[in-house]
Structure 1
Amino acid sequence: MAPSAIDIPTPISDGYDPRKDTFRGPSKVAFNPAIHLNYTPPNRKYTYSELGLPLKGTSDFGTTEPFQLCSEAAVVELRRELLQPSTIKRRMHSWYRAPATLRGFTEKEAPFIHAFWRSPEVHKIMEEAVGIELEFALPYEIGHTNIQLGASGKEGVQEFPLLPEPVPAGWEEEKSVYHEVNVDDWHTDSFPYVCVLMLSNTDKMVGGETALRMPDGSLRKLRGPTMGSCIVMQGRHMPHAALRAWNTGERITMTCSYRPKSPALRDDTEITNSLELSYLNELTGQFALERFKVLKKKSEYMIAQLEKAKKDALEREPDNLDAVIMDRKAVKAMMKEMIWYLEVSMKQMKMHIDED
């Protein structure tokens, strides 16, 4: 029987020692922003225009500089749920781009992970970073985690401690098949916006950045200087990779993906990448549900626009039965976008319009 988790009503510095805590499982600690956040706003943000990238997304926002987001206490609880045996067994996937990812955690499996990312405080930080209102791209993507593997491979993940520490003096990494492999190779995201949170100790870490490829072929490398730091980026149209880290026993980063909340903005979300490393019934069921939610919001938005246009027209010209009550250009644009959205949805789920 697994030992019980130690409740942490106060910060780690007040007597709790995670080095003596052996519990790996759903956290018993309630998220508390006063304990689990350690937020410092980013010093700088970069637009797509400033980075010299073509503007294809829903805003000109490109990326933030790294900034501190959460405390050591939060890192411990996030790692507690990532490193539980059932998660490693059921939620670890590999594919050509990344040797090890943990993803798809339900709220029952990972209550702290969900509470952290769903908290109003963290959500507000994400919106302030991007500059527009956001909502989750897919529940399945909350807490997607990339893990660097070493000589012990996937088996070694279960040995990672709750609180990572710097490697000792003279430590050398044993060479393995993963020695020259990126944690997540070059790609663009399937989701418009993403936060990448560092859950490993960075005191002696060399490399391990999120690298952005610029149009001239140069790289812009971003990594927070401390554990619990993060970057926020619009990675849907920005080539990037999670580079391997050196002089460290691990590199673990957790991400959360977002889409624009406004129905007036295009949702570029796809699941092309996710189809390669997910339980498909879970994933496509959520994807279909979220697509209809977005279409519902767009329909309600256009209904409100048309009703207002009609009301305004009749107030201006009460005796003109042929008063202009519709912006044909706007209506056509929205209808085309909704058709496109459904076509993309069916293509992503490998459905054909003429099949039974």
Structure 2
Amino acid sequence: MEPQEISQPIVPWHRDSHPFVCVVMLSNAEYMLDGETGLMSGDGTITKVRSPQCVKRSLKWLSGHAVVLQGRSVSHIAIPGGNMAERITIVCSFRPRDPRLFDSSTNMNIRNKSLVPELNYQWTTYRLQLLSERFAILSDDLKTRYKQTCEDTDLEGKLGACETETINAEELSVWMKTQMKYMEQTLHEMRPLTAEDGVISNVGDEVV
């Protein structure tokens, strides 16, 4: 369903490049009207995340409240705020710490705003690091499984002559295909820039 139009949004309807984002309000929002982050619901209606409320401390109103959002999955929009001179926020992006979890990151919406050689270097090294962690985890899991299999099937529990299969070929095939798709997506995100990269996107950009 198409998202509802908002008049003069600060940022139009879009999805972020990374799974999670933390949006911190830097401006003093004590008297701000509107200025929420609008989230598109499944039925096309808008759920508004209220403007971060300032914290009153030592008789001073301080900014600094934040909203954490699954920005890669949820279409959202920055609604204009009123009754204040400025509305400044800072956004920090995150991915799952556990490398085994699905990482939906893309370079959508940032490719045309970045120093491309630097972006490609950081993008590639982070993706390769994540892959190396996945391979190491699987290798350790197989070693543990192999040792347990030997202990269960060999009278003396010795390693090196295991007659029971440790590797599930079907499971390994599925796992490998997942990693290959991840590598294909990594390369796809480094394709040459086109005019479409200048348009803020509200759709996915995954390799099929």
In 2: Cα distance, 1:283 partner to 1:263 partner: 21
Determine helix, strand or coil for the equivalent of 2:91.
Answer: strand
1:218 aligns with 45
Query: Structure 1, residues 177-224: CA drift from partner, whole Å, max 9, x if none?
Result: xxx521211011110111010001111111111110101111111121
- Residues 1:350 and 2:191 are matched in the alignment: yes
Determine helix, strand or coil for the equivalent of 1:260.
Answer: coil
Determine helix, strand or coil for the equivalent of 2:85.
Answer: coil
In 2: Cα distance, 1:301 partner to 1:263 partner: 9
CA separation of 1:262 and 1:328: change in aligned 2, threshold 3 A: farther
TM-score by length of structure 2 reads 0.78
1:1-356 matches, within 5 Å, as 180-222=7-49, 223-226=51-54, 227-318=63-154, 321-350=162-191
Determine helix, strand or coil for the equivalent of 1:262.
Answer: coil
In 2: Cα distance, 1:228 partner to 1:328 partner: 51
Number of matched residues? Answer: 172
AA paired with 2:119? L
Query: Structure 1, residues 26-48: CA drift from partner, whole Å, max 9, x if none?
Result: xxxxxxxxxxxxxxxxxxxxxxx
| Cα displacement (A) at 1:329 | 4.1
Determine helix, strand or coil for the equivalent of 1:237.
Answer: coil
- Of structures 1 and 2, the one with the larger relative CO (CA 8 A, separation 6+) is 2
Determine helix, strand or coil for the equivalent of 2:67.
Answer: strand
**Structure 1 runs not aligned, ≥5 long:** 1-179, 352-356
On the 8 A contact 1:263/1:301 being kept in 2, the answer is no
In 2: Cα distance, 1:345 partner to 1:293 partner: 12
Query: Structure 1, residues 24-79: CA drift from partner, whole Å, max 9, x if none?
Result: xxxxxxxxxxxxxxxxxxxxxxxxxxxxxxxxxxxxxxxxxxxxxxxxxxxxxxxx
1:153 aligns with none
**Structure 2 runs not aligned, ≥5 long:** 1-6, 55-62, 156-160, 193-208
In 1: Cα distance, 2:69 partner to 2:137 partner: 27
Query: Structure 1, residues 97-117: CA drift from partner, whole Å, max 9, x if none?
Result: xxxxxxxxxxxxxxxxxxxxx
In 2: Cα distance, 1:300 partner to 1:245 partner: 48
In 2: Cα distance, 1:236 partner to 1:230 partner: 17
CA separation of 1:302 and 1:308: change in aligned 2, threshold 3 A: same
On the 8 A contact 2:127/2:186 being kept in 1, the answer is yes
Query: Structure 1, residues 142-175: CA drift from partner, whole Å, max 9, x if none?
Result: xxxxxxxxxxxxxxxxxxxxxxxxxxxxxxxxxx
1:113 aligns with none
On the 8 A contact 1:271/1:348 being kept in 2, the answer is yes
AA paired with 2:69? M
TM-score by length of structure 1 reads 0.46
AA paired with 1:195? C
Q: What stretches of structure 1 move > 4 A for 4+ residues in a row?
A: none
In 1: Cα distance, 2:119 partner to 2:85 partner: 32
Alpha carbon RMSD of aligned pairs, Å?
Answer: 1.6
In 2: Cα distance, 1:262 partner to 1:333 partner: 19
On the 8 A contact 2:149/2:162 being kept in 1, the answer is no
| Cα displacement (A) at 1:301 | 0.8
In 1: Cα distance, 2:142 partner to 2:25 partner: 46
